[in-house]
């Protein structure tokens, strides 16, 4: 058994590919095991078979060479913050769908088996809203039903991950000279990350409001990943999860991105990648008071021990 700790996952794992190629022989393995995904529900063990990719574009809007008084100059003089707001508002339509033309043209269609697996998964709308912390009266995007899994795992989504002009605590009566934002797009498994980043950059730079200067940079552009959960390793994982959790597992996707799964699997010749859930939906990953359900932590530890025993038996065969 070889244990690898990878420290660049949150920034796109830019150096991992070279590392893997350089140490290919030392890393040789029959199965890749990763415990960094989420169970569908607390107590329900889940094998993750798909990950969305990630594209991030930083956009900087410049309107003035210095801030000016909003009373003395406001009206005829544009400002960067307002222009940026107009620019960002173009990214989504009134229904919340991404409005960048062609951005979903290369989204792979789900086959009948994938749709059947999605249809079998339990879905509770109220629990879903509660786990996400959706406020009363706030509507979900799209239909409020089981198709949410498809949108979460197999469709692109867009969010603003950073927005800055002038901190509220130090705000003054000024027209802002420069304003910036980071636009993040989670791309579907199978989409071309470079293509999506090019489309997003082109859209942001096209016809800038009031002729402001728009500069862009792409700090992250990594593809998603998908596998078919068949074969002895996946069967072993299902048996181990059932023993550890006391119930059968389900196959799920993940709306997040783990950039090193694809490169690892590629370099190792396409070995099975077993992504075992450890988080539960209310864990508040990447938020305040991020936590772990202790009961699931114990069950996952037991399941991992069973999995190593199962895989050792497969190896000896």
Q: How would residue 315 be classed by pLDDT, with cut points 50, 70 and 90?
A: low
pLDDT at 143: 60
Residues 77, 211 contacting (CB under 8 angstroms): no
State mean pLDDT over 39-57.
Answer: 94
pLDDT at 248: 96
State mean pLDDT over 185-200.
Answer: 97
Residues 94, 206 contacting (CB under 8 angstroms): no
State mean pLDDT over 231-248.
Answer: 96
How many CB atoms within 10 Å of residue 279? 24
pLDDT at 268: 84
Residues 63, 87 contacting (CB under 8 angstroms): no
Q: What angle is formed at CA 311 by the lines to CA 27 and CA 307, rounded to 5 degrees?
A: 105
pLDDT digits (tens, 9 = 90+) for 77-128: 999 999 999 999 999 998 888 999 999 999 999 999 899 989 999 999 898 8
- Is the whole model's pTM more than 0.85, yes or no? yes
Is the sign of the CA dihedral 21, 27, 28, 34 positive or negative? negative
- Average pLDDT of the chain, as a whole number: 91
- Share above pLDDT 90 across residues of the chain, in percent, rounded to a whole number: 65
Tell me how far apart the alpha carbons of residues 198 and 218 are, in angstroms, rounded to a whole number: 9
Residue 209 vs residue 10, higher pLDDT: 209
Tell me how far apart the alpha carbons of residues 107 and 208 are, in angstroms, rounded to a whole number: 28
Q: Indicate whether 144 pLDDT > 80.
A: no
Q: How would residue 235 be classed by pLDDT, with cut points 50, 70 and 90?
A: very high
Which residues, in sequence order, are bridge partners of residue 299?
Answer: none
Reading the block at residue 173, the tokens are: 């009566």
Q: Indicate whether 74 pLDDT > 80.
A: yes
Q: Indicate whether 275 pLDDT > 70.
A: yes
Q: Indicate whether 277 pLDDT > 90.
A: no
Residues 243, 306 contacting (CB under 8 angstroms): yes
Tell me how far apart the alpha carbons of residues 8 and 16 are, in angstroms, rounded to a whole number: 8
Q: Indicate whether 17 pLDDT > 50.
A: yes
pLDDT digits (tens, 9 = 90+) for 101-115: 999 999 999 999 899
Reading the block at residue 299, the tokens are: 């069950």
pLDDT digits (tens, 9 = 90+) for 19-35: 888 888 888 889 999 88
Q: How would residue 6 be classed by pLDDT, with cut points 50, 70 and 90?
A: confident
Q: How would residue 304 be classed by pLDDT, with cut points 50, 70 and 90?
A: very high
Q: How would residue 146 be classed by pLDDT, with cut points 50, 70 and 90?
A: low
DSSP for the chain reads ------S-GGGT-TTHHHHHHHTHHHH--S-EEEEEEE-SBTTB-EEEEEE-EEEEEEEEEE--SS-EEHHHHBTTB--HHHHHHHHHHTTB-TTS-B-STTTTTTPPPP-HHHHHHHHHS---HHHHHHHHTPPTTPPPSS-SSTTHHHHHHHS-EEEEEEEESS-GGG--SEE-SEEEEEEEEEEPTT--HHHHHHHHHHHHHSS-GGG-EEEEEEEEEE--EE----SHHHHHHHHHHHHHHSS--EEEEESS--TTHHHHHHHTTS--EEEEEEE-GGG-TTSTT----HHHHHHHHHHHHHHHHHHHHHHH-
Is the sign of the CA dihedral 279, 138, 98, 200 positive or negative? negative
pLDDT at 317: 47
State mean pLDDT over 153-176.
Answer: 92
User: Domains of the chain, with CATH numbers?
Assistant: 9-51+225-316 (3.40.630.10), 53-107+155-222 (3.30.70.360)
HSE of 252 in the Cβ direction (CA atoms, 13 Å)?
26
């Amino acid at each position: 058994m070889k244990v690898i700790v990878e420290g660049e996952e949150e920034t796109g794992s830019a150096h991992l590919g070279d590392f893997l190629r350089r140490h290919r022989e030392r890393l040789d393995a029959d199965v890749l095991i990763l415990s960094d995904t989420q169970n569908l529900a607390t107590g329900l063990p889940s094998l993750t078979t798909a990950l969305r990719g990630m594209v991030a574009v930083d956009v900087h809007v410049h309107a003035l060479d210095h801030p000016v008084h909003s009373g003395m100059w406001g009206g005829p003089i544009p400002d960067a913050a307002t222009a940026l707001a107009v620019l960002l508002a173009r990214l989504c339509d009134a229904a919340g769908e991404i409005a960048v033309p062609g951005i979903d043209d290369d989204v792979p269609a789900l086959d009948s088996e994938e749709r059947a697996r999605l249809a079998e998964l339990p879905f509770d709308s109220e629990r879903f809203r509660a786990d996400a912390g959706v406020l009363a009266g706030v509507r979900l995007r799209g239909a409020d039903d089981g198709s949410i899994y498809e949108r979460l795992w197999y469709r692109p989504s867009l969010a603003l991950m950073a927005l800055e002009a002038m901190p509220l605590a130090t705000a003054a009566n000024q027209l802002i000279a420069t304003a910036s934002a980071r636009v993040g797009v989670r791309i579907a498994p199978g989409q071309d990350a470079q293509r999506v980043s090019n489309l997003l950059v082109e859209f942001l730079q096209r016809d800038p409001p009031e002729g402001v200067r728009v500069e862009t940079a792409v700090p992250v552009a990594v593809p998603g990943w998908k596998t078919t959960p068949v074969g002895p390793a996946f069967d072993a994982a299902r048996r181990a999860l059932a023993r550890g959790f006391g119930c059968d597992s389900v196959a799920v996707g993940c709306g997040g991105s783990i950039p090193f799964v694809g490169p690892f699997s590629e370099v190792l010749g396409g070995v099975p990648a077993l992504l075992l859930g450890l988080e539960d939906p209310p864990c508040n990953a990447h938020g305040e008071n991020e936590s772990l359900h202790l009961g699931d932590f114990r069950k996952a530890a037991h399941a991992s021990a069973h999995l190593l025993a199962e895989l050792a038996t497969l190896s000896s065969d």
